[in-house]
Amino acid sequence: MNNASDITSGMNSVTFVSGNADKRKDAIAILSPHANIKLVDYDLKEIQGDEKEIAKEKLDLAMKIFENEIIIVEDTSAPLHISKHIFLPFVLWSM
């Protein structure tokens, strides 16, 4: 049976990339019981698209910049569906 120190010492290290200080604080609160967290203050380019495309692009970019690290990115958006083919990330406009 593992004790707490065995579990902690075997935790993965993950890199959380965000230019938002509040999101970095949230990442520590949520993830630190499960992994060793490295916080990186970096604004990733945000493309236009649906929420999955935006998150995937941010992750792809972060993986190129921070090679050989386990990466977590976060994107919060409220998509504005104008038509079947136009999706806009609304949060960026409202800030």
Tell me the C-alpha distance between 37 and 7, whole Å: 15
pLDDT of residue 81: 60
pLDDT tens figures, 60-95:
999 999 999 999 998 877 666 666 665 555 555 444
In this predicted model, what pLDDT tens digit does every residue of 44-63 receive, in sequence order? 887 877 778 888 999 999 99
Alpha helices in 1-95 (DSSP H): 4-9, 21-31, 51-65, 90-94
Q: For residue 75, which of 65, 49, 66, 85 has the smallest C-alpha distance?
A: 49
pLDDT at position 26 is: 93
What's the average model confidence in pLDDT over 1-6?
Answer: 39
Q: Cα(95)–Cα(91) distance, rounded to whole angstroms?
A: 7
Please report which confidence band the pLDDT of residue 25 belongs to, taking 50, 70 and 90 as the band edges: very high
* CATH number listed for the domain at residues 4-94: 3.90.950.10
What predicted TM-score, i.e. pTM, was given to this entire model? 0.69
Q: Where are the domains of the chain?
A: 4-94
